[in-house]
């Protein structure tokens, strides 16, 4: 991989997830025709903001947290992408996540660029009032670059509706007027959209259903292993289960459980009752070693946690015929080569988990028009957007003889770079 294009603030020896994005760009470049002349634009995030987030802790002392908001590309519209609270957040990670948002939004043809934010914090160590102060100060610090027409944050790992409510409130107070459209993934009572909470998991199901039809895999009885039982993994588990599939293994931070007869995700959620640490105590499944998760006998594997999970070290163990990337960046390019060589189809993150941002777009449109849609409207439109995107990408992959990730990147990067070329360089 070339390091010539690296911004000076990224250490080539510790390039992290941004390096993975650059490799993905290298793979698509030969397929872009004349638009490849513009591809360097994607190697240079448009704007990276690093902010200090000082928080008065409950005991009176002040702690400083590192916050980021990266707007990777704004050629097709305002920035759009979530905010993550996690102790491992780095600038490289937020840059990669923002770039994947550029690709994702263009892949499903939403009128957005790509952005992402994060704070380097373990929210489990904070009290609710500390979490609120952190969220409000972070929002105020990035307030100069976000806004309903500029850049619209949303939930991601460890952020939720309550955090979006604080973000909306803080931004609105600083602006002097209520601005519901500044964030999506809000509570329904303050302008959120029906169907947003489950949208990412539902989207995983929709694209998996389409792929399974074409691969001749029946949904009834399909065996599914899921990594991550948070917002994405648990919603996907419920929707796949209700459609007749069987959840045979679940891995989360607490450990891994398995049952070849299937785990009922509704019953498991009831048992956990908001406490994910109780996973291993669930009586209707057996605990297995974390390392054994990847080799579980299943038809479909759904990584729905963090990036860099399926690597060259474990890709050879995977027995699934289909991988649906609910997480962002869970599969390294080297792992994908191994999976493809073993006959496994990978539905890439930038298509498979686009359901969340698609319903975020619906929420933003509803906020702008102050007219709200029914849940059925949301489900139907989400299904249509993803099914059409899937069909276009599936056909393109067949026509160009490339895998689905490269096809998605061809589709998305062509849209972004065409807009870039038409807009031109100022001055």
Residues engaged in binding ligand GLU (CB under 6 A): 80-82, 154, 156, 184, 328, 353, 356-357, 360
When the beta carbons of 222 and 327 are compared against ligand GLU, the nearer one is 327
When the beta carbons of 75 and 184 are compared against ligand GLU, the nearer one is 184
Minimum CB separation from ligand GLU for residue 92, in Å? 17
When the beta carbons of 73 and 328 are compared against ligand GLU, the nearer one is 328
Q: Is 116 a catalytic residue?
A: yes
Beta bridge partner(s), residue 331: 310
Minimum CB separation from ligand GLU for residue 354, in Å? 7
Minimum CB separation from ligand GLU for residue 406, in Å? 20
CA distance linking residue 279 with residue 258, whole number of Å: 11
Strands 246-252 and 322-324: what pairing? unpaired
At 360, phi and psi to the nearest 5? -60, -45
Who's near 162: CB < 8 A, 6+ residues apart?
A: 187
> Of 116, 186, 197, 321, which residue is the catalytic one?
116
When the beta carbons of 77 and 356 are compared against ligand GLU, the nearer one is 356
Cβ atoms of 160 and 166 closer than 8 Å: no
The residue with tokens 């899921």 is 226
For the chain, the helix, strand and coil percentages under 3-state DSSP, each to the nearest 5: 50, 15, 35
Minimum CB separation from ligand GLU for residue 357, in Å? 4
DSSP of 324-353? E--SSS-B-HHHHHHHHHTT-EEE-HHHHT
CA distance linking residue 286 with residue 16, whole number of Å: 35
Minimum CB separation from ligand GLU for residue 145, in Å? 15
Cβ atoms of 190 and 168 closer than 8 Å: yes
Using CB positions, name the residue nearest to ligand GLU: 82
When the beta carbons of 16 and 329 are compared against ligand GLU, the nearer one is 329
Residue 229: both structure tokens together: 């039982």
Minimum CB separation from ligand GLU for residue 183, in Å? 9
Cβ atoms of 269 and 234 closer than 8 Å: yes
When the beta carbons of 80 and 246 are compared against ligand GLU, the nearer one is 80
Helix (H) or strand (E) holding 301: strand 300-303
Cβ atoms of 324 and 300 closer than 8 Å: yes
CA distance linking residue 283 with residue 115, whole number of Å: 42
When the beta carbons of 19 and 155 are compared against ligand GLU, the nearer one is 155
Who's near 92: CB < 8 A, 6+ residues apart?
A: 10, 14, 15, 16, 17, 18, 19
Minimum CB separation from ligand GLU for residue 153, in Å? 7
Minimum CB separation from ligand GLU for residue 184, in Å? 5
When the beta carbons of 170 and 231 are compared against ligand GLU, the nearer one is 231
Residue 1: both structure tokens together: 């991989």
3-state SS, 352-400, equals HCCHHHHHHHHHHHHHHHCCCCCHHHHHHHHHHHHHHHHHHHHHHHHHH
Cite the active site residues.
Answer: 116
């Amino acid at each position: 991989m070339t390091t010539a294009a690296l911004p000076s603030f990224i250490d080539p020896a510790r390039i992290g997830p941004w390096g993975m994005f650059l490799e993905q760009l290298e793979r698509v470049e030969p397929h872009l025709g004349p638009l490849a002349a513009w591809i360097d634009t994607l190697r240079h995030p448009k704007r990276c903001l690093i902010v200090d987030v000082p928080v008065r802790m409950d005991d009176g002392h002040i702690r400083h947290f590192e916050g980021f908001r990266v707007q990777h590309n704004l050629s097709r519209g305002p920035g759009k992408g979530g905010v993550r609270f996690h102790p491992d957040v780095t600038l490289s990670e937020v840059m990669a996540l923002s770039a994947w948002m550029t690709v994702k939004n263009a892949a499903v043809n939403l009128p957005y660029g790509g952005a992402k934010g994060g704070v380097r914090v373990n929210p489990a160590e904070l009290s609710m009032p500390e979490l609120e102060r952190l969220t409000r100060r972070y929002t105020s610090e990035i307030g100069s670059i976000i806004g309903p027409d500029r850049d619209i944050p949303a939930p991601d790992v460890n952020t939720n509706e309550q955090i979006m409510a604080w973000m909306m409130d803080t931004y609105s107070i600083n602006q002097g007027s209520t601005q519901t459209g500044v964030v999506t993934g809000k509570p329904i009572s303050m302008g959120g959209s029906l169907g947003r909470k489950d949208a990412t998991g539902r989207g995983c199901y929709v694209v998996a259903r389409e792929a399974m039809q074409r691969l001749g895999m029946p949904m009834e009885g399909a065996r599914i292993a899921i990594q991550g039982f948070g917002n994405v993994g648990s919603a996907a588990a419920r929707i796949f289960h209700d459609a007749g599939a069987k959840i045979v293994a679940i891995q989360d931070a607490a450990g891994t459980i398995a049952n070849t007869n299937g785990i009922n995700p509704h019953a498991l959620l009831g048992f956990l009752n908001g406490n994910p640490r109780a996973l291993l105590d669930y009586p209707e499944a057996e605990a297995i070693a974390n390392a054994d998760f990847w080799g579980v006998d299943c038809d479909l594997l759904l990584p729905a946690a963090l990036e860099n999970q399926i690597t060259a070290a474990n890709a050879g163990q995977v027995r699934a015929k289909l991988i649906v990337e609910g997480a962002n960046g869970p599969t390294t390019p080297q792992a994908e080569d191994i999976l493809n060589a073993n006959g496994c189809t990978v539905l890439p993150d930038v298509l498979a988990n686009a359901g969340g941002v698609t319903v975020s777009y619906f929420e933003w449109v509803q906020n702008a028009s102050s007219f709200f849609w029914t849940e059925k409207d949301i489900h139907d439109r989400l299904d249509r957007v993803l099914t059409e995107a899937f069909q276009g990408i599936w056909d393109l992959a067949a026509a160009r003889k490339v895998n689905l990730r490269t096809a998605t990147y061809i589709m998305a990067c062509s849209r972004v770079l065409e807009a870039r070329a038409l807009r031109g360089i100022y001055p």
